Structure 1
C-alpha cells in the first residue's frame, strides 16, 4: 500500500513535528546532566521549577509542564519526602494541596539554574538569538493550534 500524498506544506509540518519530537531526547539527556551534580533528574528539576513559580497544585504543575498528573504527583511526593518541597493548604481546593519550595529546594534549584545558564548561553550564542526566538514562536503557535485538537480527541 502506498503512503498517502501530502502537500509540500504537509511534508514540511511532518518534518517539523518529527524534529521537535527528536529534540526532546537530547534535551532530557542534557537536563539530566545539568541536574545530576545536585542529585536531581530533568523530571525532578521541572517539578522544582514549577513549585518555584509560586504555590501551585500538582494538577496545575502537570498542566503547565504538559505531563500526566500522576507522574508529577509521584515526583512531588519524593521531593517532599526529601524536604525539597512542602505542601500547604489550598484556599480554593481542600484536597489539592499547594507545592512550595523549601529553603533546601530553592538552593538546589539555584545550583541547577547556574549550570543551565552557562549551557544555554553557549547554545544561544551558537544558534543565534533571532533564529531561536523565531523557532520558539513557531513552536508556541503550533502548540496553540494543536491543543484544541488534542482536547477534542480526549487527550490532555
Structure 2
C-alpha cells in the first residue's frame, strides 16, 4: 500500500470530517423519527441515555462532559426532560448548586422503549457490514475524539 503524502493525508482527514458531519446529521434525523412516538428527540435521547447509563447520578456538567456537549445545551435538554416528567433534579451532597439528574419511572420507560427501537434500527444499518471494519472505525473515532479533546483543553 502506498503511503499518503502529507497533503493527501490532510485531504483524507477533511473528507472524513465532512463525512462525520453528514452521518451525524442523518443520525439526528433518524433518531428524531425513531423516538418521536415516545416523546424524545435525538438530543433528549442522548441525555436520557447518559443519565440511564451512569452508575451514579450525574450533574448537568458531568453529562455534558461525558457526551461531548456544552453544559448550557445539556441544561436546556434536562429542563425539557424535567417538564416532560422523565427526569427530576435532586440535591447534591457534594455541591450545593449543582443538582443531580435522576431518571423518573417515566424516564426509565422512555429509555427502555428507545433501546427497544434502537435494536432493529442498528441491525438494519449494520446488515452485511464486516464487524472488524466497524471496530476499526470505532477505534479511529476514539483516537480522533481524544486528540480533539486534548486540543480543546489546550486552547
TM superposition score normalised by structure 1: 0.89
Asked if 1:58 corresponds to 2:63, the answer is no
SS in structure 2 at match of 1:133: helix
Aligned to 2:84: 82
CA–CA distance in 1 between the matches of 2:83 and 2:14?
A: 42
Structure 1 portions without partners, runs of 5+ = 1-5
Asked if 1:135 corresponds to 2:154, the answer is no
- Compute the displacement of 1:142 (Å): 0.9
Runs (4+) off by over 4 Å: none
SS in structure 2 at match of 1:94: coil
CA–CA distance in 1 between the matches of 2:142 and 2:114?
A: 25
- Compute the displacement of 1:74 (Å): 1.1
- Compute the displacement of 1:125 (Å): 2.2
CA–CA distance in 2 between the matches of 1:100 and 1:65?
A: 16
* Count of aligned pairs between the two proteins: 149
SS in structure 1 at match of 2:89: strand
- Compute the displacement of 1:127 (Å): 2.5
SS in structure 2 at match of 1:86: strand
Aligned to 2:152: 150
Aligned to 1:37: 37
1:112-133, Cα deviation, whole Å (9 max, x unpaired): 1101111011212232321111
Q: How does 1:18-29 map to 2 (within 5 A)?
A: 18-29=18-29
SS in structure 1 at match of 2:94: coil
SS in structure 2 at match of 1:126: coil
SS in structure 1 at match of 2:92: coil
- Compute the displacement of 1:91 (Å): 2.2
Choose which of 110, 113, 131 in structure 1 pairs with 2:112. 110
Asked if 1:68 corresponds to 2:86, the answer is no
Q: Alpha carbon RMSD of aligned pairs, Å?
A: 1.5
- Compute the displacement of 1:134 (Å): 0.7
Q: How does 1:6-17 map to 2 (within 5 A)?
A: 7-17=7-17
Aligned to 1:101: 103
